Amino acid sequence: MSGPLRLVPDEAGSDWAEQTVQLRTLPRRNRRPAAPAQTAVPEEQLDLSPDPLDELAERLADVCADAVHPYEIAAFLESDGLSDEQAGLLYGRPDAFTVAEELFERVERRYPGPSAEFANPWRADPWRCVVRGLVFALPGLGYLLGANLFAATRMRFGLPSGMLALSLSTLVSWSWNQALAHRSYAWLGRGRRRAAGRCLAVGAPVGALVAATTGYVVGGPLGALCFAAGQSGYLAAATVLLVLGREKFLLVALAPSAVGAGVVLAVEVPQLARTVVLLASLGLAVGLAAREILRCLRSEQDATELKLPVLHELPHLLFGLAVGTLTLIAGLGATVHQAVRTGATEGASASPTGPAMIALTLSLGLAEWLLFRYRAMAVAALRTTHTAAAFTRRTGGILLGCLFIYLTTVAALDAAATVLWPGAPALGVPELGALLLLGGSLWLALLLNAFGLSWSTALICLAAAGAECAGLLTGVDPTVLQLIGCGGAAALLTAIAGPVLGRTTKHR
């Protein structure tokens, strides 16, 4: 992620000041001639260029040749300490931007393209993304093992009370862990592994406790509340392992649940055996997460103290809450709508998953790989395009291509899940359109988040989630809500992404 350009007002201008002293004695085209009593020294003896800008162009040849816009050269000059006053004194130009424009015109463009020596920092391992996609999708099998725990006769807001408690605790876990992961990544990015370990050691258990308490406050059958508590603990442990890059450990922890779910689909299994399998996966995940945290805490003590404001995580917490709400509405919106419309007060359990949620969770690995792929191709475009307009067109085409691949995959997964999921309604054009708008909105939001637009994405997604919740409770069809809410969010995010991601400085 490229950071803002910083001007260095103190010591960075020392080179320019030294040149000022040297060049004050040199003849300049816009300077008055020396006094008659002095003897002018021929320029050939001084071995100087008639225009000092020629010397600067030679010195900054590499920077100017790789630039796709004069503003890049101007940013470099300002970061090196060249002020407008020094531009006039040294080079006879009114400001640093004029100097940059003339340098851009004088130095020939050189775009060799990516070479073997060019190290792109956004290269992603596709197999690692596949593994991450599996660990995102496999937890859904746990709902098959715990399906009997959600049977309830009391309904709240169109859902069985147990399912409502589980849904709200899930929202708390998603939002909390989104902020926790961002903060931990921030520590790791600064080389503070021990600080990241402390953050995870405190944040993960607290988040699990808050999520489990939310489920108990809502109320419901004891089995459903225990499942919600176990899920909160698992999500906290999974956050630790994913942040620390231990996806394979998480895959090992999910193996018992995956095998158990396969057995449940084939034969009838007592609930006690199902519970033991769920506890085995939970215990493995928590144990492996604790092991990795201890390894971080044993890392070398950081030499200097560094503080990260906690409020910086607020937009990421809100973003996690919004994404969780939009996803749950996609999976459970039809159940809530039917209950609100018919006024049902009794019912069996609602399905915690569905074709739409299965398609979204299975696509998360591809979504992450495409995010890396976009950034890698955008960085490569900096070295192969000749103008700022060409770079904007190139990155726009890359963005559309990545989005097309992702949405096509989501559509294929949704169609397959609809065929395989027992009792799933037929896939219609409006339902598919709503899912694609949701998937496109979430992918664009994640991409903009990676470029530092966390508040914009959080507020847009939160507004869409709030509008869908309000409409759902008043009996509006969930498909219509998703078309409107996610469609509006997708339009806003696209309008932001085009100008922002078309700037060369965003990819530096």
Rounded to two decimals, what is the model's pTM? 0.75
Give the integer Cα–Cα distance in Å for 252 and 134: 11
What whole-number distance in Å separates Cα of residue 208 and Cα of residue 231? 9
Of 153, 133, 405, 92, the residue nearest 247 (C-alpha):
133
Task: Count CB-CB contacts under 10 A for residue 104.
Answer: 20
pLDDT at 374 (0 to 100): 93
Per-residue pLDDT reduced to its tens digit, 116-159: 445 566 777 788 888 888 888 888 888 878 877 766 556 666 66
Q: How far apart are CA 226 and CA 234, in angstroms?
A: 12
CA–CA–CA angle 69, 403, 333 (5° rounding) = 135
Q: Please name the residue ranges forming H helices in 421-453.
A: 429-450
Q: What percent of the chain has pLDDT over 90?
A: 36
The CA-based angle 298-302-303, given to 5 degrees, is 140
What are the E-state strand segments in 125-204? 155-156, 159-160
Q: d(Cα 59, Cα 51) in Å, to the nearest integer? A: 14
Distance in Å from the first CA to the final CA of the chain: 8
Residues 6+ apart with CB under 8 A from 479: 333, 430, 431, 434
Q: How far apart are CA 98 and CA 101, in angstroms?
A: 5
Encoded tokens for 41: 């020294």
Would you say 414 and 356 are in contact if contact means Cβ atoms under 8 Å apart? yes
pLDDT of amino acid 220: 76
Q: Which residues of 433-460 are buried (b: 16+ CB within 10 A; e: fewer)?
A: bbbbbbbbbbbbbbbbbbbebbebbbeb
Whole-number Å distance between alpha carbons of 451 and 428? 35
Taking the C-alpha atoms of residue 444 and residue 367, their distance in angstroms, rounded to an integer, is 10
3-state secondary structure 461-480: HHHHHHHHHHHHHCCCCHHH
Angstrom distance (rounded) from CA 393 to CA 385:
10
pLDDT tens digits for range 9-19:
344 344 444 44
Spans in the chain with pLDDT lower than 50: 1-41, 43-48, 113-117, 345-351
